[in-house]
C-alpha cells in the first residue's frame, strides 16, 4: 500500500484491493485529484450526488446586472453535482449530518424561539415526553450498565424454549431485540402498533386536550377557544423493531401567541400522562388495538436552562437520521419477499418486514398500506413530524442556508433582491467509481470530525459540557 493510501485509511480500514490501487492511481494524477476535491466540495461530500447538466445565472434584481453565471460546461467533469439531501445516515453521512443539524435547529427554535419563531415561546408551558411501545413478547435486552440479559420468565414456553436468558450480551450483539421464542412473539401486534402510531398519537393529542380542559375546569370547546397544542415528534426504532416516540409538546394561545394565565407545564404534563395511559387506537376488524407501553417519561421542559434545551434538541435530532435498521438494509421500499430475502438483516427484523408484507395482502388492512411501508416495519409517515405552529420548516432552513451562501459569495446583504434563472437537466446519480465515492466520504468524515471537535471546544470554552 502506498503512503497516500495508508494516510487515507487509518486504523486498518477494510478496503478492497482495487480501491487501494485506485487511490494510488489517483494520487499520481494531480489534476484528477484536484478535480475530485473540487467536485466533492461543490456537493459538500455527498455520497450519492445528483449529476446535472445546465446553467444558472444570477441577476441583480435592482440593477439588472449579471452577478454570477455558472454552467456545467465550465466544470472539469462537464457536470454539476448536487447533494442528494437524504436524511438517512446509512445512505449518505454528509447529507444526513446536514439534516441532523436542521432537525436540531427546528426542534430548538420551537423551544427558545428564533429562526422566524417568536422568542416568547420560551415562556409557554412545555413538556418533553417519551411514549413507549408495549411488550409483544420477551426479547433479549442488555441492561444499560451491562450485566446479564434482562429476559426473565418462568420455565419453558409451549415450543420448548426457555423463557429466561442468562447471557451477558455485548453492546452490539445481533441477538439484542430478538425474541426468546419467535413463535410466541406477537410480530403481527408489533407491526400493527407501528402502523397505527400516527393514529395513536393523534388520539393522544385529543385526549390530552380533554384532560387539560377538565383540569382547568372548563369544557373542551371552551379550551379550544383559548389554547392549542403544538408539538414535534420523532420516532425512534428500538432494536426489537417497534417504535418509541419522543415528543415536545408546547401550549400556545389559540392564535399562536402566549396562552392565557392559569395553564402550567405541570398541568400539561399531568394531562399528557393521563391521556397516554387511557388512549387506544383500534386495529381494523377487531384485531385488537394499539396502546402505549407502561413505561412513560414526561417532564417539564425549562426553556431557560440551556443545557437541558441542548440535550433535548440533540436527542431528537439524533433519531431523525436513523432508519428501521442500523445498516440501511431497510432504507428502500420492498418489491417482493425475494427482494427481502436478498437483504442482510437480523432474523427478527426480517420477520417483522415479512409479517408487514404478508399482512399487506389482507383486504381489511388495506388502509394501513403495509406493503408500501413494509421496509418501515409498518411505520408510515416520516421520522420527524411537527404540528404546523411548532416551529420553522426544513424547507425554510434550507432556503435560508442557500440565501446566506449566495449572499456571502456575492458580498451582498441577504435580503438584496436577486433573480436566479436556472435550467438543469438530470443525467445521473452517484460517483463514477467506488474509489471516488470512498475518497469523498473519507474526506467528508474528516471534515465532520474537525467540525465536531471545534464545536466541542467552543462549548467547553463556554463552560458547557458537550
Ligand atoms: Zn448526499
Ligand atoms: Zn439474552
Ligand atoms: Zn414459544
Span 302-357, pLDDT tens digits: 999 989 999 999 999 998 888 888 788 998 899 999 999 999 999 999 999 999 99
Same domain for 355 and 450, yes or no, is no
- For residue 303, report the distance from its CA to the centre of ligand 1, in Å: 33
Residue 260 lies in a domain: yes
**In the chain, which stretches have pLDDT less than 70?**
1-15, 381, 464-466
Domain range holding 163? 138-182
Ligand nearest to the CA of 83: 1
Q: Looking at residue 5, what is its pLDDT?
A: 52
Ligand nearest to the CA of 321: 1
* 217-233 core/surface letters (b: 16 or more CB in 10 A; e: else): eeeeeebeebbbbbbbb
Which set of grid coordinates corresponds to residue 107?
A: 426542534
Which set of grid coordinates corresponds to residue 133?
A: 411501545
What is the domain count for the chain?
3
Which set of grid coordinates corresponds to residue 412?
A: 451582498
* 33-52 core/surface letters (b: 16 or more CB in 10 A; e: else): eeebeebbebbbbbbbbbbb
Q: Looking at residue 121, what is its pLDDT?
A: 94
Near ion ligand 3, which residues have CB within 5 Å?
A: 157, 159, 181, 183-184
Same domain for 173 and 261, yes or no, is no
Same domain for 266 and 304, yes or no, is yes
**Do the Cβ atoms of 265 and 126 come closer than 8 Å?**
yes
CB under 8 Å to 442, separation ≥6 — which residues? 8, 9
Grid look-up 423551544 returns 111
Ligand nearest to the CA of 147: 2
Whole-model pTM: value is: 0.87
Residue where a domain stops, chosen among 329, 356, 386: 386
Nearest to 374 by CA among 332, 327, 346, 344: 332
Ligand nearest to the CA of 140: 2
Same domain for 252 and 296, yes or no, is yes
- For residue 239, report the distance from its CA to the centre of ligand 2, in Å: 13
- For residue 439, report the distance from its CA to the centre of ligand 1, in Å: 14
The CA distance from 321 to 99, in Å, is: 7
- For residue 97, report the distance from its CA to the centre of ligand 1, in Å: 9
Same domain for 198 and 243, yes or no, is yes
Ligand nearest to the CA of 49: 1
Residue 97 lies in a domain: yes
Which set of grid coordinates corresponds to residue 410?
A: 456575492
Residue 392 lies in a domain: no
Greatest Cα pair distance, the chain, in angstroms, is 83
The CA distance from 242 to 83, in Å, is: 31
**Do the Cβ atoms of 49 and 43 come closer than 8 Å?**
yes
Same domain for 351 and 265, yes or no, is yes
CB under 8 Å to 401, separation ≥6 — which residues? none
The CA distance from 426 to 366, in Å, is: 35
CB under 8 Å to 12, separation ≥6 — which residues? none
Same domain for 15 and 122, yes or no, is no
Residue 78 lies in a domain: no
- For residue 340, report the distance from its CA to the centre of ligand 2, in Å: 26
Ligand nearest to the CA of 90: 1
Ligand nearest to the CA of 165: 2
Grid look-up 384485531 returns 287
Q: Looking at residue 189, what is its pLDDT?
A: 96
Same domain for 196 and 225, yes or no, is yes
Same domain for 159 and 287, yes or no, is no
Residue 58 lies in a domain: no
Residue 128 lies in a domain: yes
3-class SS string, the chain: CCHHHHHHCCCCCCCCHHHHHHHHHHHHCHHHHHHHHHHHHHCCCCCCCEEEEEEEEEEECCCCCEEEEEEHHHCCCCCEEECCCCCCCCCCHHHHHHHHHHHHHHHHHHHHCECCECHHHHHCCEEEEEECCCCCCCECCCCCCCCCCCCCCCCECCCCCECCCCCCCCCCCCCCCCECCCCCCCHHHHHHHHHCHHHHHHHHHHHHHHHHHHHHCCCHHHHHHHEEEEEEEEEEECCCCCEEEEEEEEEEECCCCCCCCCCCHHHHHHHHHHHHHHCCEECHHHCCEECCCCCEEEEECCCCCHHHHHHHHHHHHHHCCCCCCCCCCCCCCCCCHHHHHCCCCCHHHHHHHHHHHHHCCCHHHHHHCCCCCHHHCCCCCCCEEECCCCCCCHHHHHHHHHHHHHHHHHCCCCCCCEEEEEEEEEEEECCCCHHHHHHHHHHHHHHHHHHHHHHHHHHHHCCCCC
- For residue 422, report the distance from its CA to the centre of ligand 3, in Å: 62
Nearest to 208 by CA among 231, 194, 229: 229
Q: Looking at residue 18, what is its pLDDT?
A: 75
Which set of grid coordinates corresponds to residue 189?
A: 401486534
Same domain for 310 and 457, yes or no, is no
Same domain for 242 and 381, yes or no, is yes
Residue where a domain stops, chosen among 166, 182, 198: 182
Q: Looking at residue 360, what is its pLDDT?
A: 95
Ligand nearest to the CA of 160: 3
Residue 404 lies in a domain: no
Same domain for 121 and 204, yes or no, is yes
Residue 359 lies in a domain: yes
Residue where a domain stops, chosen among 386, 413, 440: 386
Q: Looking at residue 222, what is its pLDDT?
A: 95
- For residue 190, report the distance from its CA to the centre of ligand 2, in Å: 19
- For residue 21, report the distance from its CA to the centre of ligand 1, in Å: 25
Amino acid at each position: 500500500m502506498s503512503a497516500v493510501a495508508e494516510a487515507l485509511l487509518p486504523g486498518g480500514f477494510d478496503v478492497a484491493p482495487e480501491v487501494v490501487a485506485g487511490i494510488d492511481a489517483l494520487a499520481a494524477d494531480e489534476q484528477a485529484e484536484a478535480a475530485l476535491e473540487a467536485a466533492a466540495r461543490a456537493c459538500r461530500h455527498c455520497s450519492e450526488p445528483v449529476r446535472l447538466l445546465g446553467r444558472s445565472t444570477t441577476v441583480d434584481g435592482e440593477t439588472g446586472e449579471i452577478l454570477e453565471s455558472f454552467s456545467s460546461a465550465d466544470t472539469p467533469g462537464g457536470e454539476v453535482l448536487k447533494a442528494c439531501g437524504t436524511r438517512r445516515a446509512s445512505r449518505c453521512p454528509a447529507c444526513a449530518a446536514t439534516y441532523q443539524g436542521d432537525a436540531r435547529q427546528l426542534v430548538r427554535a420551537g423551544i427558545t424561539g428564533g429562526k422566524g419563531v417568536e422568542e416568547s415561546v420560551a415562556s409557554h408551558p412545555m413538556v418533553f415526553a417519551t411514549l413507549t411501545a408495549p411488550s409483544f413478547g420477551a426479547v433479549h435486552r442488555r441492561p444499560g450498565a451491562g450485566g446479564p440479559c434482562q429476559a426473565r420468565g418462568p420455565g419453558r414456553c409451549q415450543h420448548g424454549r426457555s423463557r429466561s436468558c442468562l447471557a451477558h450480551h455485548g453492546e452490539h450483539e445481533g441477538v439484542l431485540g430478538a425474541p426468546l421464542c419467535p413463535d410466541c412473539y406477537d410480530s403481527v401486534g408489533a407491526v400493527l402498533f407501528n402502523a397505527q402510531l400516527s393514529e395513536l398519537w393523534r388520539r393522544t393529542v385529543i385526549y390530552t386536550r380533554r384532560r387539560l380542559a377538565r383540569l382547568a375546569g372548563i369544557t373542551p370547546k371552551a379550551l379550544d377557544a383559548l389554547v392549542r397544542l403544538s408539538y414535534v415528534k420523532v420516532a425512534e426504532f428500538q432494536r426489537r423493531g417497534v417504535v418509541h416516540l419522543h415528543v415536545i409538546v408546547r401550549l400556545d394561545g389559540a392564535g399562536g401567541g402566549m396562552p392565557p394565565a392559569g395553564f402550567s407545564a405541570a398541568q400539561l404534563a399531568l394531562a399528557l400522562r393521563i391521556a397516554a395511559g387511557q388512549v387506544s387506537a383500534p386495529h381494523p376488524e377487531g384485531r385488537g388495538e394499539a396502546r402505549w407501553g407502561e413505561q412513560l417519561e414526561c417532564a417539564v421542559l425549562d426553556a431557560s436552562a440551556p443545557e437541558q434545551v441542548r440535550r433535548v434538541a440533540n436527542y431528537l435530532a439524533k433519531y431523525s437520521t436513523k432508519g428501521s435498521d442500523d445498516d440501511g438494509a431497510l432504507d428502500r421500499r420492498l418489491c417482493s419477499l425475494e427482494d427481502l430475502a436478498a437483504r442482510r438483516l437480523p432474523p427478527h427484523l426480517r420477520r417483522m418486514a415479512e409479517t408487514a408484507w404478508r399482512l399487506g395482502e389482507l383486504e381489511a388492512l388495506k388502509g394501513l398500506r403495509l406493503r408500501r411501508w413494509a421496509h418501515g416495519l409498518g411505520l408510515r409517515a416520516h421520522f420527524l413530524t411537527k404540528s404546523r405552529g411548532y416551529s420553522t420548516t426544513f424547507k425554510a432552513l434550507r432556503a435560508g442556508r442557500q440565501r446566506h451562501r449566495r449572499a456571502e459569495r456575492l458580498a451582498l446583504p441577504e435580503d438584496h433582491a436577486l433573480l436566479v434563472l436556472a435550467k438543469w437537466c438530470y443525467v445521473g446519480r452517484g460517483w463514477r467509481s467506488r474509489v471516488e465515492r470512498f475518497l469523498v466520504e473519507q474526506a467528508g468524515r474528516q471534515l465532520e470530525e474537525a467540525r465536531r471537535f471545534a464545536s466541542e471546544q467552543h462549548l467547553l470554552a463556554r463552560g458547557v459540557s458537550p
